[in-house]
Amino acid sequence: MQYTSRFSLLALFIFTVLISNTSGQRRDFVTEQEGELIREAQEIDLRVEVLTKFIDRRLAAANIAGHSWTPPKKNSELWGPEPTGTKSELLSDIRRLLQKSIDDIDDIASRTTTAIEGNEVGGKLFPKAMRNLAAAAARYKPIFESELGKSPSNTDRGLLLQSIEFCDQIVEASSKVPAEESKKKKTD
């Protein structure tokens, strides 16, 4: 009996240490300043724009496909410091940002009404957000595919494959959004 209770205590101790180490090592995929920008961007089109700029920042920080990022001249201090990390960490951030974009779009799509006019599926902001996100996904996919062929790391390859899959999902979902109506010229 005494041996069993010691074993149980030891197992509980090891489990607690593993849980605390895992949670202590979790990396935030956005900086504190970026998190604030996300909270402020309540309109879905602005939220998508901010999230895609975060992806661009990380592509530049990882020096992927010669990607460059120029912070906006206006209010550049709001963006905070450039993201840092290993290539794998930055690829993980990118995958998580793509997932966040999808989740935010899905959240709006699942609601019948929203607090912000135009954010709903039938509103003017949602289709614009979908088109912009699809355009970004179409731009990112070849970058990820190119990087996939160069990457010797299984971790990086897995992250790139997931990101490519997210890009495919975004483009496919955007095909279900009604096309933008062309602006009609007013005639007198």
What pLDDT, in 10s, does the model give residues 104-153?
A: 999 888 876 766 666 667 778 889 999 999 999 999 999 999 999 899 99
80-116 in b/e form (b: 16+ CB < 10 A) is beebeeebebbbbbbbbbbebbbebbeebeeeeebee
Of 72, 53, 78, 66, nearest to 136 (Cα)? Answer: 53
User: How far apart, in whole angstroms, are the C-alpha atoms of residue 37 and residue 148?
Assistant: 30
Instruction: Decide if 142 is inside a domain.
Output: yes
Instruction: Decide if 9 is inside a domain.
Output: no
- Domain hosting residue 122, numbered range: 45-68+76-178
Instruction: Decide if 101 is inside a domain.
Output: yes
Instruction: Decide if 167 is inside a domain.
Output: yes
pLDDT recorded at residue 145: 95
Query: Which pTM was predicted?
Result: 0.78
Instruction: Decide if 171 is inside a domain.
Output: yes
41 burial level (CB within 10 Å; 0-12, 13-18, 19+): middle
Instruction: Decide if 36 is inside a domain.
Output: no
Length of the chain: 188
Instruction: Decide if 34 is inside a domain.
Output: no
Is it the case that residue 74 has pLDDT exceeding 70?
no
Q: What percent of the chain has pLDDT over 90?
A: 48
Q: How many domains does the chain have?
A: 1
Is it the case that residue 12 has pLDDT exceeding 50?
no
Which two structure tokens, joined as six digits, stand for 54?
Answer: 């975060």
Angle at 148 between CA 145 and CA 149, to 5 degrees: 95
